[in-house]
Structure 1
Amino acid sequence: MTNSGNGYVTYTTNNNIGTIEFYHPKGNSLPGNILRQLADAITKAGLDDKSNVLVIKSGGEGAFCAGASFDEMKKISTEQEGKDFFMGFANVINAMRTCPKIIICRVHGKTVGGGIGIVAASDFSIAHTKASVRLSEISLGIGPFVVGPAVGRKLGKAAFSTLAFDAKNWYDSEWALHNGLYNKVVDTVEDLNSAVDEISSDLASANPDALTQMKDIMWQSTGHWGPTLEQRAEISGRLVLSDFTKNYIKSFEEK
């Protein structure tokens, strides 16, 4: 468990279910330290004999994830710093992809940018009906380059392009369900918890070897993602230095 005033990432196990929870006071945004802790927790949980299945969730009652941290993006001053920041997202997605255990994502609220990458990189996602989604990167002058492979794999190119180019608008949970980002949508937090508990318990009691083989089959043809996501992080790291992006962040904060 790592916990601080700047957010936390925790990992707990119970009845062969591992639960990873992340939290940041600014809408569950994802600064570099949270991304590093999250990737590390996923990797370690994948090796933990006490869990057969993993659940990823976020804390609080607001957004599931507000995406990249504006506080950190505005401090980036070199292309290397930019690449390092966006590699945080790449490392989380790759940790989820290579984790030998099935990952269930519990989505209780709105999700933006990198948060959609986390949902898309999970193996099964259950969302609250209010969990609308938006890929806002184009508005920032960047583009959803790092999350693109995960989102495109889950939704297909047509739905991915809808989110990527219509960057100022929210798409509701029914749209996300229809296009494959969510596997199930429920109406209340109680129903969300019950649905997550039910499927995680069912999978935790299944044959672990069968689940690992299923995971391997589902993620075939993604072995190139390591260098691909690094290249995408370089693109984002360069674009985040543009006057367009810096002016957008400044105007957003002044609202």
Structure 2
Amino acid sequence: MQYETLTVDIVGHVATVTLNRPDVRNAFNETMIADVTAAFTALGAHDDVRAIVLAGNGKAFCAGADLNWMRKMAGYSDEENRADAMRLAQMLSAVYRCPKPVVARVHGDAYAGGMGLVCAADIVVAVETAHFCLSEARLGLMPATIAPYVIRALGEQASRRYFVTAEAFDCATAQRLGLVSEAVSAQALDATVQRIAETLCANSPNAVRECKQLVQDVAGQTIDNALIEDTAVRIARIRASEEGRDGVSSFLEKRTPRWRDQ
């Protein structure tokens, strides 16, 4: 897979997508938006890939939107602006809805749309020196397309604050709010990401995919009879699946499940 603004490397069952515009702090433009969307769509359908690491090259993880791109958008018609915004929204959705688990490797600052990418990931590992910021209000804008993912990650009350103040906050705060899963030193970053990726790859690929979808479908739902029935249907279905049967059998027989040999 060849892309203009990012690199994709697959080692074993782990794919690493690296944002590669270090000269502009990995700020995204229309090309990067298209590249990220295409990469996650392709990797989501790649049978051999079981986990995806989203990383950045250079000093920052992602500084949000490229200023030259934003300047160009200022001259767009309303229809053109809507189409452009929809492409950005679809990029975030491609990351969030990717059937493979996504680990964000945050080695530097994540601002504005970069926060959206972080919040769309399933697991976030960040260096202790990283800073986060929803800076849109400073520019007379709002974090609209990233809002569904940011609010899920930060919670409503924290989002109320950081949307309107556009304050930067540190990694310790991000971890306290639940955005960052693990805060580590720069020296421990790669080892931590690798450990998590290996853990993901050791689990049933089908179960991991179904578990990710389960969280997205159940979060925020009312616990009513329909939801109870839905969860019962899901566990019954996966018990009868090939990997479900093999996983239970391998545990009882004290052997390695077949998916680890594939």
Normalised by the length of structure 2, the TM-score is 0.79
2:88 is the counterpart of 1:89: yes
Normalised by the length of structure 1, the TM-score is 0.81
Shift of 1:2: 3.5
Can you list the C-alpha shifts for 1:127-166, whole angstroms capped at 9, x where unaligned? Answer: 0011110101111111011100100011111111121111
Q: 1:219 aligns with which of 216, 220, 232?
A: 216
**Residue number in structure 2 paired with 1:120:** 119
Higher alpha-carbon deviation: 81-90 or 62-71: 81-90
Identity %: 29
Which is helix-richer, 1 or 2?
2
CA RMSD between the two structures = 1.4
CA distance in structure 2 between the aligned counterparts of 1:63 and 1:10, rounded to whole angstroms: 16
**Residue number in structure 1 paired with 2:196:** 199
Structure 1 residues without counterparts, runs of 5 or longer: 223-255
SS at 1:2's partner residue? Answer: coil
Shift of 1:171: 0.3
2:108 is the counterpart of 1:109: yes
**Residue number in structure 2 paired with 1:245:** none
**Residue number in structure 1 paired with 2:24:** 26
> Which amino acid in structure 1 is aligned with residue 124 of structure 2?
S
**Residue number in structure 2 paired with 1:155:** 154
> Which amino acid in structure 1 is aligned with residue 67 of structure 2?
F
Can you list the C-alpha shifts for 1:3-41, whole angstroms capped at 9, x where unaligned? Answer: 54xxx2222211111111112120110111001100110
> Which amino acid in structure 1 is aligned with residue 159 of structure 2?
F
> Which amino acid in structure 2 is aligned with residue 2 of structure 1?
Q
Which structure 2 residues correspond to residues 176-255 of structure 1 after superposition, within 5 A? 176-188=174-186, 190-220=187-217
Q: 1:9 aligns with which of 6, 9, 29?
A: 6
**Residue number in structure 2 paired with 1:139:** 138
CA distance in structure 1 between the aligned counterparts of 2:87 and 2:37, rounded to whole angstroms: 8
Can you list the C-alpha shifts for 1:198-253, whole angstroms capped at 9, x where unaligned? Answer: 0001111211011011110121168xxxxxxxxxxxxxxxxxxxxxxxxxxxxxxx
CA distance in structure 2 between the aligned counterparts of 1:88 and 1:221, rounded to whole angstroms: 26
CA distance in structure 2 between the aligned counterparts of 1:219 and 1:144, rounded to whole angstroms: 21
Shift of 1:70: 1.1
Shift of 1:81: 2.5
CA contact (8 A) 1:15 1:204 kept: no
Who wins on radius of gyration, i.e. which is larger?
2
**Residue number in structure 1 paired with 2:61:** 64
Structure 2 residues without counterparts, runs of 5 or longer: 220-262
Can you list the C-alpha shifts for 1:53-72, whole angstroms capped at 9, x where unaligned? Answer: 11111112x11101011101
Q: 1:221 to 1:144 in 2, by over 3 A?
A: farther
> Which amino acid in structure 2 is aligned with residue 19 of structure 1?
T
CA distance in structure 2 between the aligned counterparts of 1:148 and 1:123, rounded to whole angstroms: 16
**Residue number in structure 2 paired with 1:50:** 48
Q: Count how many residue pairs are aligned between Structure 1 and Structure 2.
A: 216
CA contact (8 A) 2:3 2:35 kept: no
CA contact (8 A) 1:110 1:131 kept: yes
SS at 1:171's partner residue? Answer: strand
